[in-house]
Amino acid sequence: MENLRQYPKVELHRHLEGALRFSTLVELARQMGQEVPKDQISQKKMFLVQEPMKDLLTVLQKFMATQSVLATEEILTRIAYEAVEDAHNEGIRILELRYAPTFILQGHPNLNFEKIHRAIVAGVKKAEKFPVAVGLVCIFQRTLPLKDLEKVLDFAIDTKDTWVGVDLADDEAAFPTKNFATLFSKAHQHSFPITIHAGEVPLPIAPKNVLDAIEILGAQRIGHGLQIIHDEKVLRHVVDSKTVLELCPTSNWLTNGVSKLEAHPFRKLMQAGVITTINSDDPGVFGIDLVNEYQLLANSYQFSDQEFEICNDSAAKASFIPLATKQKFWPRKI
């Protein structure tokens, strides 16, 4: 591949709260009165996850640092705008940004779902000058009580024309997928396309979570799902049901989903017939961008131009953004 940066890409799996531009994060943290070191190495240590995490708490602290700066509507509009601008600079033509209204609200109870969402939609709207098709995905946090998640879903239903889909995220080990059946049945009734974070952690429950996400929650796409490599039956089901995996190699390495980067089952899954796509997950927290992931696949796995094209055309097709909109920005017929 000659020019990986300009190469047209699709990003299906990027968290808005995990995609803050680093310079903006530092600037906002200072504005909030946080003690931020002067040199960039110490700054990166403070905010970024750059090596495989040793404990969940350390990583959680970094997400909390991000959460703390998302304090006003003006800031939310800015970070949404910058997220699209950054994606454009990575060669992304189709971009799905996902966020959890509850995550932002937890840190800033002075806001509410309406204010948060309106501000983010305004940022995306302002970024329309970039040639990128953008869609927002609403995240439900597994860790919250169902009655709280129902409120999030009701909000998403009320604002349906501003979303392209829904997602379930956070700890899949302690909060099994099947617990959310009623929530997703309602989302399905309201015709929301569904993607589910599952099969991410290297635990025996992971493949089962993928199966349940497809069978019980009606997922068309799975966030991560790489652990199905350890369960032939689930893997076959994913292939047969044409479920799309949103793979995020660096993220999977940093969160110990794989023991080392070179051990990522990306190509094995592809060769087994799974529909695979290339994503960055939380580029702002990991100090990466999507170009990074392409470089990684090109260098460590000798990905060919054809393999990149297959992943991207699959992703373009699997994107929840309406066909006419995404086709406008995609160079090949979807």
Minimum gap (Å) between residue 165 Cβ and Zn ion: 13
Comparing CB distances to Zn ion, the nearer of 75 and 100 is 100
Residue nearest to Zn ion (CB): 281
Minimum gap (Å) between residue 200 Cβ and Zn ion: 8
Stretch that binds Zn ion, among 4-12, 20-28, 58-66, 279-287 (CB under 5 A): 279-287
Minimum gap (Å) between residue 248 Cβ and Zn ion: 7
Comparing CB distances to Zn ion, the nearer of 285 and 321 is 285
How many angstroms separate the CA atoms of 309 and 39, rounded? 40
Place of tokens 């160079």: 331
User: Which residue among 231, 281, 289, 293 contacts Zn ion (CB under 5 A)?
Assistant: 281
How many angstroms separate the CA atoms of 265 and 271, rounded? 10
Comparing CB distances to Zn ion, the nearer of 99 and 330 is 99
Task: Show the site string, 289-318: x = touches Zn ion by CB under 5 A, - = not.
Answer: ------------------------------
Task: Show the site string, 128-167: x = touches Zn ion by CB under 5 A, - = not.
Answer: ----------------------------------------
Comparing CB distances to Zn ion, the nearer of 90 and 281 is 281
Using H for helix, E for strand and C for coil, what is the string for 87-145?
HHHCCEEEEEEEECHHHHHHHCCCCCHHHHHHHHHHHHHHHHHCCCEEEEEEEEECCCC
Buried b (16+ CB within 10 A) or exposed e, 167-195: bbbeebeeeebeebeebbeebeeeebbbb
Closest CA to 273 of 238, 313, 227: 238
Angle at 80 between CA 110 and CA 318, to 5 degrees: 120
Comparing CB distances to Zn ion, the nearer of 122 and 205 is 205
Strands (E), the chain: 9-15, 92-99, 133-141, 165-169, 194-198, 221-224, 244-247, 275-278
Minimum gap (Å) between residue 104 Cβ and Zn ion: 16
Minimum gap (Å) between residue 139 Cβ and Zn ion: 8
How many angstroms separate the CA atoms of 6 and 154, rounded? 39
How many angstroms separate the CA atoms of 311 and 63, rounded? 29
Give, as ranges, the residues between 191 and 220 that touch Zn ion (CB under 5 A).
none
Minimum gap (Å) between residue 197 Cβ and Zn ion: 6
What token pair was written down for 39?
């040199």
Closest CA to 137 of 79, 105, 81, 95: 95
Comparing CB distances to Zn ion, the nearer of 208 and 224 is 224
Comparing CB distances to Zn ion, the nearer of 212 and 281 is 281
Minimum gap (Å) between residue 252 Cβ and Zn ion: 10
Minimum gap (Å) between residue 215 Cβ and Zn ion: 21
From the centroid of its chain, how far is CA 255?
Answer: 14
Comparing CB distances to Zn ion, the nearer of 26 and 196 is 196
Residues in contact with Zn ion, counted by CB under 5 A, come to a total of 1
Q: What residues make contact with Zn ion under the rule CB under 5 A?
A: 281
